[in-house]
Structure 1
Amino acid sequence: MTAAQKNLLKDGLYVFVSIIVAYIIVKTGIVHATLATAKQYAILGSFIAGISFASIFTVAPATVVLAELGRSHPPLLVAAVGAVGAVLGDLVIFRFMRNRVGLHLAFLFNRSKSRLLKKIFKRRALKVLLPVLGALIIASPLPDELGLAFMGISNIKTPTFIPLSYGMNFLGILVIAYVARASAL
């Protein structure tokens, strides 16, 4: 087994174990209890919900908490602080995506027999399109992993990623907070 295959297997195992741990955490109610407590404190709650907003496993309860906070606290505050938390969550995922997943995709890609697939990924337009698609996914209430994978594959640098992630998460959370506030009227 090559080093790339071992790394792919090891990372696959990490993902599998993290899914099991996330399932256990959700089933025991730890996530819901933490987020419910966080709703009482605008800044801490926004920050914790922001971190949770970045992951596929916690995006749904985080969106609910951010919406509730947006109803009872200034939406700009909720979005500003929540986006800081989301950037931290995104940064962890982004570093993993960029450092490991990109290597795995390159390994799998080089083993591919498809010339068309290779031509598509060598296009300059795709290198511009991937970060844009990634940013749009981050701004949406969809889980950030796919958007972060696109950004990782495009080799975007961390100093560029951080303000982009903050801005897109800020906009996404702000929309959630204002929609929640408008629906409460």
Structure 2
Amino acid sequence: MENNPDSTKPAGENGMNQNQQGDEPKTFTQDEVNEIMSKRLNEKSAKDEAKFEKRLAEAQKEWERKAKLSDEERAAEAQKAKISELEERERKITMRERRTEAAEKLAAKEIPSEFVNYVVDADAEKMDSNIEGLSKVWNSALEKGVKAKLAGKTPEDVGGNNSQGATSNYTQSNGVSSF
């Protein structure tokens, strides 16, 4: 009766109740699922609405601030915005060029191009130094790996004193004459 799941023992008597055993997954009714889903949707929509209200208030303040500016101040702000946009564009183009340059340099050193993100930099000298550092580490690790793979024990002569070893044994056992 101790191991019988149909026993009539109270849940706490053996120290474990059904929830602790984890034998049966909890099942939900459609009403419970609907309640959980509506609660989550309400929380999400409340968060989204709060974000929207905040962004709307910020946009309204910015519009009011710009409305108070004179024409010269508006033109100056527009000029600053264009300059900052052009600088950002130039920075992106420079980084794209540096990434291409780094990939070419890594390929020349036979280093996988996946390492480009680790060496690329806006400063060309720093990027070159990063590539050189990676190259040294890469070659060292590659050399260690090759040595580890090639390291081993020289096989012993299993055929006795015969210098032909396994070939001689094969030819003798199969009736093949040696050349």
TM-score, normalised with respect to structure 1: 0.21
Which is bigger in relative contact order (C-alpha 8 A, separation at least 6)?
1
TM-score, normalised with respect to structure 2: 0.21
If each structure's helix is expressed as a fraction of its own residues, which one has the higher value? 1
Larger Rg: 2
